[in-house]
């Protein structure tokens, strides 16, 4: 006689369960009371016993599947010989035709697989952490949320990462950010760069250099943006220094550049490339830290990022996020032409800057990109 | 085993009653997995000796108060299995007309207040019932079941203190199964035994093996005698263990496997069976026959319950007070 086993109603607030693991394979003999499968509900993971005796012939729901309570999940017959059929498929498949490949017992998640606190499991999943690498310190070796946090801490304990974490947290907690975005035309800048690079193969200008210089010059035009705020005190800054946000080996490094808009191009480029090179080697010159830029420039253009918004470093008033330069159709004099733009997003501290100031600044950048 | 006045007939009756408790719950559990039973189930497998030992020492007219885990208490108190099964199936023939379910089994006419599922909630009610007995000058007593979890609830202190000062005929029976849901008792209680607290109320307290049905019966008989004589309450602590999880959705993983295994070795039914065989009161084949008769009784109960009518729509508001 063919009988079906249904998913029991084990949930506290829901009427479904996720099948984690079948503890018996099709073809195996089962007795009433045998542990048949592992089910995860909204609250716990439980081993569910069989309420039937006989032979497990087919499992109707695969591991990982979420099944409503009372839905059939397995077919059991009294003997191994007797034919049986599923309602959905009228042909009687052989025992070997089960839908879920037999899972070797050794493939259990980890020795501590059954001993992971649900909160820890969720966190590990979110962070992509392999639980077999985590040592549980809870009762009976239970892996707790704290263990996962400790594991991440150890893994990410490299100083630059910790520094970045502290920095961005402080910034987001203390600076009231607002954002303005604009597509700037970079066709003039690109043709200038082509010309410059052809004549200065030993001192090539990157788009990053171009934006650093344009930003510095725009900052000179908009002094309101070059103002700092600390404990209710405003202070006007004279030099148009720029803080370059650079990624080295997954850690962000902030590299101050002294007024790149002031010097002639050649000097400007040598200086920019020099400080970037030194920063890469981890030797930011002490002297360069004697000034504090109020505008950060972060460029993800080389990664085909169209646009993004940056977190303002705690010492700054604004951060300019530079997206990739891309070709778009533009209408000029009633005709569609090929244009080249980049999307810039300015994050600004609203305690210092207002929307109009930010908009004026974007206008100025465009002007300076047009006349490099 | 303690010396008692129990003869062969009563011993076998207690043995069968414990089997009925255990097998009733097994039956219920599998029907729950099958989806034949609605609601939730708190099993008491492993605690049958405390239920049966206590209730066997009660007389007609005495009252039992129970908890969210009342199946064994109700069976031990002698409520018909048919009406208990029907209650679990939410049928009109259930002991609470199908409106109470698993956690509210009881029938005051048969000496059991419908069970109170709130932890510690039954202790003041038991004290009140005992006050009624005293006021009406009845010789009856109340057996108040609660768990170790309830021993740290405010009602425990207030109600036992009140029962003590008025010398009320109530036995406070703490079934200490070592875990309040998933919390080990030593994590929430500084004294070693719940019964130690009796001293604070000036009443006798006794900690005994709750898996020894005759020992429980003996202690309950002594406490009952005292209470009937007007000498006031006793705090009885029965050390026991639930073999299953807290509820039907609790795998019980917070308990060390060797602890569970050790308590399984002390299964109250198996050990009583051995004792009865050793005393010559029972042969193995008799045990098999008794189990078969229990199965039959349960078959009958399931049939009765499934064949009983569902409550009518019009009955929604009857038997309901709040």
**Residues of A with CB below 8 A from B31's CB?**
51
- Above 60 in pLDDT, residue A91? no
pTM: 0.60
State residue A146's pLDDT score.
87
- Above 90 in pLDDT, residue A314? no
> What is the interface size between A and B, counted as CB pairs within 8 Å?
35
State residue A29's pLDDT score.
93
Lowest mean pLDDT among A80-89, A236-245, B69-78, B182-191: A80-89
- At residue A15 the predicted structure's pLDDT band, cuts being 50, 70 and 90, is confident
Test A32 with B30 for CB contact under 8 angstroms: yes
Across the range A257-274, mean pLDDT stands at 90
State residue A290's pLDDT score.
60
Shortest distance between the Cα of A123 and any Cα of chain B, in A, equals 21
State residue B248's pLDDT score.
66
- pLDDT tens string B221-243: 999 999 999 999 999 999 999 98
Q: What is the residue whose two structure tokens read 């497998």?
A: B45
Q: Could you please report the per-residue DSSP string of A226-271?
A: SEEEETTEEEE--S--EEEEEEETTEEEEEEE--TTTS-HHHHHHH
Which of the pair, A224 or A135, is modelled with greater confidence?
A224
- pLDDT tens string B275-285: 999 999 999 99
CA distances in angstroms from A44 to A116, A124, A142, A181, A233, listed in the order given: 11, 17, 14, 47, 55
**Residue of chain B whose Cα is closest to the Cα of A140:** B256
Test B33 with A45 for CB contact under 8 angstroms: no
Instruction: Using CB atoms, pick whichever of B34, B248, B251 lies closest to residue A6.
Output: B34
CA neighbor of B151 nearest in space, from B186, B100, B103, B107:
B186
Test A8 with B32 for CB contact under 8 angstroms: yes
DSSP E strand stretches across A13-167:
16-22, 29-30, 35-40, 45-49, 54-59, 66-68, 72-77
- pLDDT tens string A141-200: 888 888 888 877 766 555 566 677 777 888 999 999 999 999 999 999 999 999 999 999
**Residues of A with CB below 8 A from B256's CB?**
140
- pLDDT tens string A271-311: 999 888 877 776 554 444 567 899 999 988 888 899 999 99
- pLDDT tens string B51-100: 999 999 999 999 999 999 999 999 999 999 999 999 999 999 999 999 99
Tokens of A213: 């210089």
Which of A65-79, B160-174, B176-190, B308-322 shows the highest mean pLDDT?
B160-174
Instruction: Using CB atoms, pick whichever of B34, B35, B249 lies closest to residue A44.
Output: B249
Test B35 with A10 for CB contact under 8 angstroms: no
DSSP B78: T
Question: Is any Cβ of chain B less than 8 angstroms from the Cβ of A117?
Answer: no
- Above 90 in pLDDT, residue A95? no
- pLDDT tens string A328-354: 998 888 999 899 999 999 999 999 999
Instruction: Using CB atoms, pick whichever of B35, B248, B251 lies closest to residue A69.
Output: B35
Question: Is any Cβ of chain B less than 8 angstroms from the Cβ of A303?
Answer: no
Across the range A87-110, mean pLDDT stands at 36
Instruction: Using CB atoms, pick whichever of B34, B248, B253 lies closest to residue A51.
Output: B34
Test A49 with B33 for CB contact under 8 angstroms: yes
Question: Is any Cβ of chain B less than 8 angstroms from the Cβ of A9?
Answer: yes
Which of the pair, A332 or A7, is modelled with greater confidence?
A7
Chain B residues in contact with chain A using a Cβ-Cβ cutoff of 8 Å: 30-35, 248-251, 253-254, 256
A177-185/A335-349 β-pairing: antiparallel
Domain boundaries, chain B: 8-309
State residue A121's pLDDT score.
87
- Above 50 in pLDDT, residue B107? yes
- Above 60 in pLDDT, residue A112? no
Shortest distance between the Cα of A138 and any Cα of chain B, in A, equals 11
Tokens of B26: 């097994």
State residue A41's pLDDT score.
83
- How far, in Å, CA of B42 to CA of B250, rounded? 10
> Among B248, B251, B255, which would you mutate to test the A interface (most chain A Cβ atoms within 10 Å of its Cβ)?
B251
Torsion from C-alpha of B96, B100, B105, B106, nearest 10 degrees: -40
Average pLDDT, chain B: 93
If contacts are CB pairs under 8 Å, which of residues 27-66 in chain A contact chain B? Answer: 32, 41, 43-49, 51
- At residue A69 the predicted structure's pLDDT band, cuts being 50, 70 and 90, is confident
Q: Could you please report the per-residue DSSP string of B254-285?
A: TS-HHHHHHHHHT-HHHHHHHHHHHTTS--HH
Q: Which CATH architecture has domain B8-309?
A: 3-Layer(aba) Sandwich (3.40)
- Helices and strands (H and E) in chain A: how many: 7, 17
Q: Nearest 5 degrees, angle CA A251-CA A257-CA A258?
A: 160
Look at the alpha carbons of A145, A147, A153, A156 in this order and tell me if their dihedral is positive or negative: negative
- Above 70 in pLDDT, residue A100? no
- Above 70 in pLDDT, residue A96? no
State residue A282's pLDDT score.
61
State residue B1's pLDDT score.
46
Across the range B26-43, mean pLDDT stands at 88
Question: Is any Cβ of chain B less than 8 angstroms from the Cβ of A115?
Answer: yes
**Residues of A with CB below 8 A from B33's CB?**
8, 48-49, 51
> Among B34, B45, B186, B248, which would you mutate to test the A interface (most chain A Cβ atoms within 10 Å of its Cβ)?
B34
Test B253 with A115 for CB contact under 8 angstroms: yes
CA neighbor of A110 nearest in space, from A129, A131, A85:
A131
Shortest distance between the Cα of A42 and any Cα of chain B, in A, equals 10
Test A70 with B249 for CB contact under 8 angstroms: no
Complex ipTM more than 0.85, yes or no: no
- Above 70 in pLDDT, residue A209? yes
State residue A137's pLDDT score.
84
- At residue A250 the predicted structure's pLDDT band, cuts being 50, 70 and 90, is low
- How far, in Å, CA of B218 to CA of B11, rounded? 13
- Above 90 in pLDDT, residue B146? yes
Question: Is any Cβ of chain B less than 8 angstroms from the Cβ of A13?
Answer: no
Q: What is the residue whose two structure tokens read 């108040």?
A: B144
């Amino acid at each position: 006689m063919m009988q079906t086993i249904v998913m029991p109603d084990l949930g506290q607030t829901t009427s479904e369960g996720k099948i984690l693991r079948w503890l018996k394979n099709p073809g195996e003999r089962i007795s009433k009371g045998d542990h048949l499968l592992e089910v995860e509900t909204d609250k716990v993971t439980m081993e569910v016993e069989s309420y039937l005796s006989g032979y497990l012939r087919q499992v109707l729901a695969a591991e990982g599947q979420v099944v409503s309570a009372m839905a059939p999940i397995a077919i059991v017959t009294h003997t191994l010989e007797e034919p049986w059929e599923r309602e959905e498929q009228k042909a009687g498949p052989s025992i070997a035709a089960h839908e879920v490949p037999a899972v070797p017992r050794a493939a259990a998640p980890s020795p501590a697989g059954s001993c992971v606190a649900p909160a820890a499991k969720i966190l590990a999943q979110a962070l992509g952490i392999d639980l077999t690498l985590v040592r549980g310190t809870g009762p009976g070796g239970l892996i707790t949320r704290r263990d996962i946090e400790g594991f991440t801490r150890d893994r990410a304990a490299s100083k630059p990462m910790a520094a970045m974490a502290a920095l961005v947290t402080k910034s987001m907690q203390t600076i009231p950010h607002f954002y303005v975005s604009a597509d700037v035309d970079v066709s003039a800048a690109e043709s200038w760069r082509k010309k410059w690079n052809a004549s200065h193969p030993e001192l090539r200008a990157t788009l990053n250099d171009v934006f650093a210089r344009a930003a510095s010059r725009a900052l000179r035009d908009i002094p309101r943006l070059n103002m700092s705020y600390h404990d209710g005190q405003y202070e006007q800054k004279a030099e148009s220094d720029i803080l370059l946000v650079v990624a080295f080996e997954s850690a962000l490094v902030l590299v101050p550049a002294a007024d790149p808009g002031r010097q002639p191009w050649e000097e400007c480029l040598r200086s920019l490339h020099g400080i970037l090179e030194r920063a890469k080697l981890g030797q930011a010159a002490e002297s360069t830290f004697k000034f504090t830029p109020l505008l950060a420039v972060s460029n993800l253009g080389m990664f085909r990022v169209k646009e993004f918004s940056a977190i303002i470093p705690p010492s700054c008033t604004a951060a300019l996020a530079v997206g990739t330069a891309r070709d778009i159709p533009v209408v000029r004099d009633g005709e569609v032409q090929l244009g080249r733009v980049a999307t810039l997003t300015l994050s600004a501290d609203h305690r210092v800057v207002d929307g109009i100031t930010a908009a004026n600044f974007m206008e100025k950048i465009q002007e300076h990109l047009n006349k490099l | 085993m303690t010396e008692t006045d129990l003869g062969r007939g009563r011993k076998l009756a207690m043995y069968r009653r414990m089997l009925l408790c255990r097998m009733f719950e097994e039956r219920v559990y599998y029907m729950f997995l099958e989806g034949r039973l609605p609601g939730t189930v708190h099993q008491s497998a492993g605690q049958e000796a405390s239920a049966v030992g206590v209730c066997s020492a009660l007389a007609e007219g005495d009252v039992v108060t129970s908890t969210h885990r009342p199946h064994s208490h109700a069976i031990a108190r002698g409520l018909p299995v048919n009406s208990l099964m029907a209650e679990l199936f939410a049928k009109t023939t259930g002991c609470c007309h199908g409106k109470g379910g698993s956690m509210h089994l009881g029938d005051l006419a048969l000496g059991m207040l419908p069970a109170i599922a709130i932890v510690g909630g039954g202790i003041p009610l038991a004290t009140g019932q005992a006050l009624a007995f005293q006021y009406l000058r009845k010789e009856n007593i109340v057996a108040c079941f609660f768990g170790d979890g309830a021993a740290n609830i405010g009602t425990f202190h207030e109600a036992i203190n009140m029962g003590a000062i008025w010398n009320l005929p109530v036995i406070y029976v703490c079934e200490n199964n070592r875990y309040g849901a998933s919390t080990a008792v030593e994590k929430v209680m500084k004294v070693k035994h719940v019964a130690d607290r009796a001293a604070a109320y000036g009443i006798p307290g006794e900690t005994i093996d709750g898996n020894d049905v005759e020992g429980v019966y003996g202690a309950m008989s002594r406490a009952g005698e005292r209470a009937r004589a007007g000498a006031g309450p006793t705090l009885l602590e029965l050390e026991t263990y639930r073999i299953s999880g807290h509820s039907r959705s609790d795998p019980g993983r917070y308990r060390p496997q060797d602890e569970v295994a050790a308590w399984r070795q002390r299964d109250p039914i198996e050990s009583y069976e051995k004792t009865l065989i050793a005393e010559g009161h029972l042969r193995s084949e008799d045990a098999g026959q008794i189990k078969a008769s229990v199965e039959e009784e349960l078959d009958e109960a399931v049939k009765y319950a499934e064949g009983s009518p569902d409550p009518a729509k019009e009955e929604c508001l009857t038997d309901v007070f709040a």
